[in-house]
Structure 1
Amino acid sequence: MKKCHTVNLNELRQLGAIRFQSNSQKIIPGDVFVCRQGPNWDSHQSVDEAIQKGAVGVIANKPLDIDIPCLLTPSFSSSVSLINQYYQYPQDKLVQIGVTGTNGKTTVAYCLNALLNRQFKSAYTGTLGCQFSDEQVELDNTTPDAISLLNLFHAMEQSGVTHNVMEVSSHALSQDRVSIVDFDVVVITNIGSDHLDYHRSRDDYIQAKLRLIDRLKPGGVAIVNLDDELALAMIERCRSKARVVTFSMQDPGADLFASDIASSCHGGQFSLSYQEQQFSVSTSLPFTFNIENSLAVLAMLTAMDIEMSAAVEMLATMEHAPGRSEVYPLKNGATAIIDYAHNYDSLLNLLDNVRRHSQGRVYTVIGVTGDRLADAAAIGELCSSHSDYVFFTTDNPLGVCQDTLFAAMGSKLVIGNSSTNPDRQCVIERAVSCLMPDDVLLLCGKGPEKHQYISDNKNDPQPYIGDLAALRLAAGM
């Protein structure tokens, strides 16, 4: 090939690309490397590394002196459009379901996908990776970039997938990562406060979440939680764009209304009012906040044209998402709960529910990620005030000194009911040794993760045994 050889779309097809990759460190032989000039790094400088790793072609935004085929486009967005054309718009061949919210989106998306797979061939894309058919793909972010999404959608289409349930983060909405997707159904579980290190204000965060509604297809369905203080703003955003379906635990005027609610560490029951009919609903998901998540799942199932009676039966046998309110009875009569809760709102919800349903003492193991340093003091104070004892430990410091995180977490404590130790596995072992019958141990923040991001390089995760494995070793499970 001649240097700076520019290929057209037909020649690109002849390369037989395995996939397109914008991260040079993740190139495998047969990939086409896609360059991007970002605010902090221009990946045109990584072309040599991509070629060394086996890239068979490059899509660039400026001429390059290379000896493999290179397709020039005027911008990265143009490159995305080209790849979309290459794949023949695979996202449009799937029923696209988007889930966002400060809390609950993983539970809702993961569980909905599991239930849809009983009638369709569905995929899940989110915090727990991308899962479809026999594929399990690890993801760097809850919502991947547009090129990664196109790779995944193409693979889904090739596997016969008909539905994709996707968690859509505020970062992804703010950065237009899902601009290639027109959703058939969306749900906003709730809007609290989170990621204010990235969003300039809570209003910016709210507006990012609401942008999911703008991604709906004409005539699409928006599922709205009437109990959220921003419900009216969500409904207003849907005006003349979408059909709105509402759910509530407080407002009998909602399309799906839950009453006579009973919940515990082991599940919940409620009476559901829907289209002038009453249904008795059971769920294995613990705590009151999962009643809200269950309502969201039921609403989305009906948006998929599944009869409510069938949806209720499906919900009764629904399993929890990994690392989300996983309840483990221990041999000595205590209970351990593994939960991904890591922001203030989710921790408050979890701790309030545990306090309401526990008879013994509450022990909490918690860390604060490096990007939540500003929230560390409030989180430390919350966990201390709602626990009999709190163990502060490591949870993805992302380059922030762990002692700095510990100091912030302990800065507002008024009682001496805490300790610090960066060795998370050691902390769990010590916490388990404190437990007596009826006590509850909360392992918060990591969920199913088996790594720690000690540095800010997310391509360099450090291995961690995982909270469940650490619990099993400590408790002899």
Structure 2
Amino acid sequence: MMNNRNTTNLAQLRQLDLAQFKSNSQTIQPGDVFVCRQGPNWDSHKSIDEAIGRGAVGVIANKPLELDVPCILTPSFSSSVSLINQYYQYPQDKLVQIGVTGTNGKTTVAYCLNALLNRQFKSAYTGTLGCQFSDEQVELDNTTPDAISLLNLFHAMEQSGVTHNVMEVSSHALSQDRVSIVDFDVVVITNIGSDHLDYHRSRDDYIQAKLRLIDRLKPGGIAVINLDDELALAMIERCRSKARVVTFSMADPGADIFASEITSSCHGGQFRLIYQGQDLAVRTALPFTFNIENSLAVLAMLTAIDIEISIAVDMLATMEHAPGRSEVYMMENGATAIIDYAHNYDSLLNLLENVQRHSCGRIYTVIGVTGDRLADAAAIGELCSDRSDHVFFTTDNPQGVCQEKLFAAMTSQVSKDNTSSDHNRQNIIEQAVSCLMPEDVLLLCGKGPEKHQYISSNKNDPQPYIGDFAALMQAGGMRFPNGQLQVEAAIA
């Protein structure tokens, strides 16, 4: 009976001249099919009229309905996803799927790996910076989209000849089974710290969510593991009898890929790479020590898909940074500005420690806390105050939380008199730039390349923001006034 129903449903879909499938009525475009879902807080069957009004040519529902457009009935949302998967003929299985997770570094690793893969293959990137493949740039609501959005994207990738997809996989996505339709060929866990504890009830829940990426590996797949992470043994144990393990390390010579004689600065980094008896000199243009770790992860992933190590090392030497990740700019007076997406405690500590290690002047930090990280705001504020000469607290996606409440939390554990606050991020960047003297460093943290602010909790209503780079340009004093994204090594 179910098979007959599936056959009928597929036949109905194939009769439609449809564009894409959408589960959010507010994003429906003419030609889309609206997919209903009964969630714990909202039943989107109530949004059908809005979807049809926006141009939906069909509806996939979980209850019988009389509509003016074709209505395809399935018993559940998961059945609807399976139907769409059949309609697209399982496009995810036609790509080499590479998953990247971790508290920090996943955007840099995924974005840079994709850029290098595109030199030999036709690769796609899916993550915090959107979805990029061929000439397509698709904005995403989440780092890891829902299953229906992923199927739309995978189908488009397949149609354009993409062979590899490098995807950031967030802890939210793993917890919510958003990637349950994907069997990965290779995965990497860059590190596991603490994050999103507003959503995950405890750090252990957060850790378990991250480890679920290993469970999504194909039989015989490869897991790339950071031996320097305190949870490395738990990761390796999770792989037992399921996956081949490739390890990397900056501390353990027993790792499959080991970096020694490491030097790093804002100029980039260099190290000796020990791999299968070979000793290779490696250079990377990515600044700071934490990007040595990211570079090792990229090298390990390249070898996991059978790219010869000497070729991988040559590729790494010309690898460019991901947008908004440790972008370093010279100011005309000899100061330095760094735009970095660092926004959680671990990533901010990493960044501030590296800048302290390589700077001679004062450190100024511009930072906000997102509304979903209110619980972390006090620790983040204290860290930035302790590690900076002055901290400028400002707005960074409050998501419906009162900004004054966020400011109060950020300053609640600050013991030094070295903070300022301003709701207007552009204004406070201008204030910070006016303080800079030669050899000083200005860190613009949290936004990276983002050009919006989520002031309300409605992610479908972003407010425009000119972006940290444009705000820095307008504040004046840039060595490259024409706005060219030229990045210089500025810290000794």
TM-score tier after normalising by the smaller chain length: over 0.9
3-state SS, counterpart of residue 396 of structure 1:
coil
- Residue in 1 aligned with 2:486? none
3-state SS, counterpart of residue 416 of structure 2:
coil
Greater than 6 Å deviation, 4+ residue runs: none
Task: Say whether 1:198 aligns with 2:186.
Answer: no
Does the CA contact (< 8 Å) of 1:337 and 1:442 recur in 2? yes
Mapped to 2, the partners of 1:123 and 1:174 lie a distance apart of 24
Deviation at 1:475, TM superposition (A): 2.4
Deviations 1:159-196 (A, max 9, x none): 00000000000000000000000000000000000000
- Residue in 2 aligned with 1:235? 236
Mapped to 2, the partners of 1:456 and 1:263 lie a distance apart of 40
Does the CA contact (< 8 Å) of 1:429 and 1:470 recur in 2? yes
Alignment of 1:231-270 (within 5 A): 231-270=232-271
Deviation at 1:197, TM superposition (A): 0.2
- Residue in 2 aligned with 1:3? none
Mapped to 2, the partners of 1:308 and 1:7 lie a distance apart of 51
Letter in 2 for 1:375: D
3-state SS, counterpart of residue 191 of structure 1:
coil
- Residue in 2 aligned with 1:107? 108
- Residue in 1 aligned with 2:314? 313
Mapped to 2, the partners of 1:100 and 1:64 lie a distance apart of 41
Does the CA contact (< 8 Å) of 1:7 and 1:69 recur in 2? no
Mapped to 2, the partners of 1:451 and 1:321 lie a distance apart of 18
Letter in 2 for 1:351: L
Deviations 1:127-147 (A, max 9, x none): 000000000000000000000
Does the CA contact (< 8 Å) of 1:451 and 1:461 recur in 2? yes
Alignment of 1:129-140 (within 5 A): 129-140=130-141
Letter in 1 for 2:172: H
- Residue in 1 aligned with 2:146? 145
Deviation at 1:7, TM superposition (A): 5.8
TM-score (normalizing by structure 1)? 0.98
Change (3 A) 1:70 1:7: farther
Aligned residue pairs, count: 472
- Residue in 1 aligned with 2:372? 371
Q: Which runs of 5+ in 2 are unaligned?
A: 1-6, 482-492
Deviation at 1:425, TM superposition (A): 0.2
3-state SS, counterpart of residue 167 of structure 2:
strand
Task: Say whether 1:120 aligns with 2:140.
Answer: no
Deviation at 1:67, TM superposition (A): 1.4
- Residue in 1 aligned with 2:75? 74
Could you tell which deviates more after superposition, 101-110 or 258-267?
Answer: 258-267
3-state SS, counterpart of residue 108 of structure 2:
helix
Deviations 1:418-452 (A, max 9, x none): 01001000000110110011100000000000000
- Residue in 2 aligned with 1:174? 175
Mapped to 1, the partners of 2:9 and 2:40 lie a distance apart of 28
Does the CA contact (< 8 Å) of 2:261 and 2:271 recur in 1? yes
Mapped to 2, the partners of 1:49 and 1:192 lie a distance apart of 42
Alignment of 1:379-390 (within 5 A): 379-390=380-391
Does the CA contact (< 8 Å) of 1:7 and 1:71 recur in 2? no
Deviation at 1:65, TM superposition (A): 2.4
Deviations 1:253-306 (A, max 9, x none): 000000100000120000000001101000000000000000000000011110
Mapped to 2, the partners of 1:24 and 1:397 lie a distance apart of 24
Does the CA contact (< 8 Å) of 1:7 and 1:70 recur in 2? no
3-state SS, counterpart of residue 144 of structure 2:
coil
Mapped to 1, the partners of 2:9 and 2:319 lie a distance apart of 49
Does the CA contact (< 8 Å) of 1:368 and 1:396 recur in 2? yes
Alignment of 1:313-332 (within 5 A): 313-332=314-333
3-state SS, counterpart of residue 354 of structure 1:
helix
Letter in 2 for 1:69: P
Does the CA contact (< 8 Å) of 2:98 and 2:166 recur in 1? yes
Deviation at 1:16, TM superposition (A): 2.1
Mapped to 2, the partners of 1:176 and 1:385 lie a distance apart of 39
Does the CA contact (< 8 Å) of 1:266 and 1:285 recur in 2? yes
3-state SS, counterpart of residue 391 of structure 2:
strand
Letter in 2 for 1:28: Q
Mapped to 2, the partners of 1:8 and 1:312 lie a distance apart of 50
Letter in 2 for 1:397: P
Deviations 1:201-235 (A, max 9, x none): 00000000000000000110000000000000000
Alignment of 1:151-162 (within 5 A): 151-162=152-163
- Residue in 2 aligned with 1:342? 343
- Residue in 2 aligned with 1:54? 55
- Residue in 1 aligned with 2:489? none
Does the CA contact (< 8 Å) of 1:266 and 1:327 recur in 2? no
Letter in 2 for 1:438: E
Letter in 1 for 2:462: P
- Residue in 2 aligned with 1:292? 293
- Residue in 2 aligned with 1:405? 406
- Residue in 2 aligned with 1:188? 189
Does the CA contact (< 8 Å) of 2:12 and 2:72 recur in 1? no
Mapped to 2, the partners of 1:159 and 1:322 lie a distance apart of 24
3-state SS, counterpart of residue 8 of structure 1:
helix
Does the CA contact (< 8 Å) of 1:298 and 1:308 recur in 2? yes
RMSD value, Cα: 0.8
- Residue in 1 aligned with 2:14? 13
Letter in 1 for 2:201: R
Mapped to 1, the partners of 2:421 and 2:322 lie a distance apart of 29
Mapped to 1, the partners of 2:9 and 2:111 lie a distance apart of 40
- Residue in 1 aligned with 2:392? 391
Deviation at 1:14, TM superposition (A): 1.3
Mapped to 2, the partners of 1:144 and 1:198 lie a distance apart of 17
Mapped to 1, the partners of 2:313 and 2:365 lie a distance apart of 34
Mapped to 2, the partners of 1:172 and 1:415 lie a distance apart of 39
3-state SS, counterpart of residue 63 of structure 2:
coil
- Residue in 2 aligned with 1:436? 437
Letter in 1 for 2:226: N
Task: Say whether 1:303 aligns with 2:304.
Answer: yes
Task: Say whether 1:88 aligns with 2:89.
Answer: yes
Letter in 1 for 2:163: T
Does the CA contact (< 8 Å) of 1:90 and 1:150 recur in 2? yes
Does the CA contact (< 8 Å) of 2:195 and 2:206 recur in 1? yes
Mapped to 2, the partners of 1:223 and 1:130 lie a distance apart of 23
3-state SS, counterpart of residue 356 of structure 1:
helix
